Structure formats: structure tokens, C-alpha cells
Amino acid sequence: MAMRKRSPAKQKADEVLIPDKLYFRIGEVATLCRLPAYVLRFWESEFPQLKPVKSSTGQRMYRKRDVENVLRIKQLLYEQGFTISGARQQLRAETKSDKTQSAIPFPSTSTPEIQNIRRGLREILDLLSSRRTG
């Protein structure tokens, strides 16, 4: 039995490889996520999790986290059949559960190495402060 190759349009959201970049223009995100740019602009107004920064020229610049959110929203709406309101609630619930995860355990006492770094930083701060006042 021959298996048909999945068309790119039916590719699942979690199969998208996001390039390792700091910022993406809206056109790049639209191409990556296989969505029209106007859908991304609409979703910005509907989902508070989508907050691309604007460049000095007014270009929307999406961070990797924004692209991941776009893919998650697409998955909720197109693959799982959520309404926009339901997807918004689902994302809110997911971010709450992310925040309730335990924090990274830091040692309660400073190691000698950290104390040495702090001492060095204080010395630098003192030098800079004395230059400003002198």
C-alpha cells in the first residue's frame, strides 16, 4: 500500500521549524505558519499573548515566542476546532499552568566564587561612582 505524502498545507503546527533568529517580519511569520498576514494582524487584536514589537519604521517584529504562540493559536483554531474565545481561554489557562511550575532552585548560601564576583562588581561600581563625582 503506497502512502501519500502530506501536502504542505496540511502540515501540523508542531512540525514547523522556526529558524534561530531574534526577530521575524510579519511576512516571514505568515510564510512560516502558512497564514495570510491579515490573519496575524487580526489575531494580534484578539490574543493578548501576541505582541510583536514595532521597529523604527513601523514594521511588526515577532519574537520566536510570538511565532510559537501563532502556531499554537493556529492549532487550537484550525486543528482542534476552538472558537476564538475558547482558544483565548485555553491559552490563558496554559500560561497560568506554566507560571505555577516550580522555580529554579538557587542555593540559599552564596558560594565563594559568587562572593568574589560580587566583590569585583562592587569595586567596579565604586570606581565608576568616584569618576562621576570627581
70, part of any domain: yes
123, part of any domain: no
- State the total domains in the chain: 1
129, part of any domain: no
80, part of any domain: yes
pLDDT, tens digit, for every residue of 36-64? 999 999 999 999 989 899 888 989 999 99
For residue 15, what is the domain's CATH number? 1.10.1660.10
Full domain range(s) for residue 61: 11-97
pTM of the predicted model, to two decimals? 0.62
6, part of any domain: no
CA angle, corner 107, sides to 103 and 112, nearest 5? Answer: 145
72, part of any domain: yes
pLDDT, tens digit, for every residue of 70-128? 999 999 999 999 999 999 999 999 887 766 555 556 566 667 888 888 899 999 988 88
